[in-house]
Amino acid sequence: MSFELLILGSSSATPAHQRNPAAQVLTFNDKNYLIDCGEATQMQMQRYKVKAHRIDKIFISHLHGDHYLGLMGLLSSMHLQGRERELTIYCQPELKDILALQFQVSDTALRFVINYQFFTPGTEVLFEDEQIRVIAFELNHRVPCKGFLFCEKPRQRNLIIEKVQNAGIPLDFYQELKAGKDYCDNNGLVFKNKDLTIDPPASKSYAYCSDTLYQESLIPILKGVDLLYHEATFMHDLLDRANETYHTTSLQAGQIASKAQVKKLIIGHFSARYKDLNPLLEETKSVFAPVYLAEEGLVYNF
Amino acid sequence: MSFELLILGSSSATPAHQRNPAAQVLTFNDKNYLIDCGEATQMQMQRYKVKAHRIDKIFISHLHGDHYLGLMGLLSSMHLQGRERELTIYCQPELKDILALQFQVSDTALRFVINYQFFTPGTEVLFEDEQIRVIAFELNHRVPCKGFLFCEKPRQRNLIIEKVQNAGIPLDFYQELKAGKDYCDNNGLVFKNKDLTIDPPASKSYAYCSDTLYQESLIPILKGVDLLYHEATFMHDLLDRANETYHTTSLQAGQIASKAQVKKLIIGHFSARYKDLNPLLEETKSVFAPVYLAEEGLVYNF
């Protein structure tokens, strides 16, 4: 299994230069996770053929408009398109009030249930199943704000099928072999797991840091992830402005990626002042080379 | 002076086929009036070069999301772009609550004042100045909903300058001549206004009917307008669906236009089920010929 990340929005607060506010879809094991939902996310989903009915979990990092204003429209469209399956939104508690007020005023009784799971302070596991664990962690922004870490769980070991068959291991022990166990036959003869299986591919991980001050406390959380999305609202000559607005510069995003030894970095959340984004990319590259710009519509596989 | 109408959105509740939810900009006498503000209106304004800072009055017909969800993003961007000039929003009272909650949660203290003018029942003058009068009237929708009538005030009469000079009318009486008054000189000699002036061009008018059941009570209000925008969500084979959802069919929109003897009609608010809109246009044309589709980006001058 692999992750696929589709960027739907790459602008910061004010959309500009055909760039839309924050939204992205992470696909893993045939499930779509929507991460942030800025204005016009549903239009971007249509443009890039993302099926709304395949989204069951939505993660909203914080309640600045450029990260959630598309949610009401998306939920309304899901309703009008006949959705009945439950949906979970991971968010700050106030989002429920905002949505509830708007549904009430528009006299809308949703056909599907929204489960709200509110963030608690600190680092927490938001959800996990057999394949994935999703963790929320604190960012440092002007309002409460969370980053998200999506970790694939360790995969099963791969059987060396010829050796397994030669050793006469019964079929009903194969799952345990895959889980790493040795096999002991009726005569007490032990077959070591390491002789019958090979390591699975390494588990993958993705981290999302939406809006935050440069924050070295993030390094242990982001350590070694396969892909890091980190905001880079300003270039480093506007460090004062970045600090004042609780944002990161393109240089600092590279520094975090470098210090956390991530494999690849995507920078996004670009200020409207930058029409040409290459200077931001070059600035990040000066400290961390495997970096890409968040380009709307592009899919990053990893 | 003339009106210019720019359509920014033409879809009904669910955006589809690259069509956006309701929004349009009416320009008159160098002022932009924003009428409804569906999701992504600010992006559409950027696409079609509408200057947000030239909008001082916003009219929101009703509180279904496809008519107002773009407002929070637009107001936030105005704030971030440094707007200080007051803005007036004509709306249902609950819109103020919705916006206030979102500004509070995002910890935003706007740099400019929003004046809310709430609708009262029935037909009312929302605002007028020397050139224009804007009237709100009741539509018949699932939630309280208003239509808008923009009427140019009668223009000044045009002086026949040669006759005015030959008659020796003093300069400081010219304004009164333009207003239709006769002139009486010191000897008591009366110069009839009709001999010194000619009629001004007829005053123009525009009516906007966003979401409504077919409603013959609208006919006296819409009587003879130069341009009528009327919703036509469904074709007439879905009349039951139109009635059930308090909408109008493309046939009925033509019937209203015909009965109200309007000069031209634009139909819009198209259901997502129609990719090709020509059948709706043809259906309307069968009863009212001077009709256009609301096409996003097109400007209608009248």
**Per-residue model confidence as pLDDT tens digits over A37-56:** 999 999 999 999 999 989 99
In this prediction, residue A186 has a pLDDT band, given cuts at 50, 70 and 90, of: confident
pLDDT of residue B12: 95
- Greatest alpha-carbon pair distance for chain B in Å reads 75
Contacts of B107 in chain A (CB under 8 A): 142-143
| Chains A, B: CB pairs < 8 Å | 98
Q: A165 phi and psi, to 5 degrees?
A: -70, -45
Average pLDDT over residues A140-157: 95
Spatial contact of B108 and B86, defined as CB atoms under 8 Å apart? no
Residue B1 has pLDDT above 80, yes or no: no
Share of chain B above pLDDT 90, in %: 94
Residue A265 has pLDDT above 80, yes or no: yes
Residues 6+ apart with CB under 8 A from B297: B6, B7, B47, B48
CA distance A45 to A296: 11
CA distance A59 to A148: 8
Q: Identify the burial level of B41 via C-beta atoms within 10 angstroms of its C-beta, where 0-12 means exposed, 13-18 middle and 19 or more buried.
A: buried
Q: Are strands A31-37 and A55-59 parallel, antiparallel or unpaired?
A: parallel
CA distance A100 to B185: 71
What domains can you pick out in chain A, each with its CATH number? 3-155+201-301 (3.60.15.10), 158-198 (no CATH)
Q: Identify the burial level of A245 via C-beta atoms within 10 angstroms of its C-beta, where 0-12 means exposed, 13-18 middle and 19 or more buried.
A: middle
CA distance B185 to B169: 8
DSSP state of B233: -
In this prediction, residue A214 has a pLDDT band, given cuts at 50, 70 and 90, of: very high
Angle at B243 between CA B241 and CA B244, to 5 degrees: 65
Q: According to DSSP H, which parts of A151-300 are helical?
A: 161-166, 174-178, 193-196, 219-222, 239-244, 250-259, 278-285
Residue of B nearest to A48 (CA): B18
What tokens does A24 get? 């992205």
Chain B residues 94-113 with CB within 8 Å of chain A: 94, 97-98, 101-102, 105-107
Question: Residue A101 is nearest to which of B39, B43, B97, comparing CB atoms?
Answer: B97
In this prediction, residue A274 has a pLDDT band, given cuts at 50, 70 and 90, of: very high
Q: Which residue, among A76, A96, A107, A143, would best test binding to B if mutated, counting the most B CBs under 10 Å from its CB? A: A76
Question: Residue A97 is nearest to which of B42, B66, B101, comparing CB atoms?
Answer: B101
How many CA atoms are closer than 13 Å to the CA of B160, on its beta-carbon side?
A: 12
What tokens does A208 get? 């999302």
A72 touching B, CB under 8 A? yes
Contact (CB<8Å) B14/A69: no
Residue of B nearest to A108 (CA): B64
Contacts of B13 in chain A (CB under 8 A): 76-77, 80
Q: B35 phi and psi, to 5 degrees?
A: -115, 115
Contact (CB<8Å) B20/A39: no
Closest CA to B34 of B73, B2, B65, B74: B74
Q: Which residue, among A14, A60, A63, would best test binding to B if mutated, counting the most B CBs under 10 Å from its CB? A: A14
In this prediction, residue B100 has a pLDDT band, given cuts at 50, 70 and 90, of: very high
In this prediction, residue A205 has a pLDDT band, given cuts at 50, 70 and 90, of: very high
CA distance A99 to A97: 6
Residue B186 has pLDDT above 90, yes or no: no
Q: Is B107 a catalytic residue?
A: no
Residue B40 has pLDDT above 90, yes or no: yes
Residue A2 has pLDDT above 90, yes or no: no
Question: How far is CA B256 from each of CA B158, B215, B223, B282, B283, rounded to the nearest angstrom?
Answer: 35, 8, 10, 16, 13
Contact (CB<8Å) A63/B105: yes
Residue A228 has pLDDT above 80, yes or no: yes
Give the gap in angstroms from C-alpha B226 to the nearest C-alpha of chain A: 32
Closest CA to B57 of B91, B83, B20, B94: B91
Query: What is the set of active-site residues of A?
Result: 66
Contact (CB<8Å) A42/B43: no
Q: Which residue, among A43, A50, A96, A275, would best test binding to B if mutated, counting the most B CBs under 10 Å from its CB? A: A43
Chain B residues 242-271 with CB within 8 Å of chain A: none
pTM for this model (two decimals) = 0.91
In this prediction, residue A256 has a pLDDT band, given cuts at 50, 70 and 90, of: very high
Average pLDDT over residues B50-66: 95
Average pLDDT over residues B240-257: 97
pLDDT of residue B112: 97
pLDDT of residue B194: 92
Share of chain A above pLDDT 90, in %: 93
Contact (CB<8Å) A15/B63: no
pLDDT digits (tens, 9 = 90+) for B68-95: 999 999 999 999 999 999 999 999 999 9
Q: Are strands A23-28 and A3-9 parallel, antiparallel or unpaired?
A: antiparallel
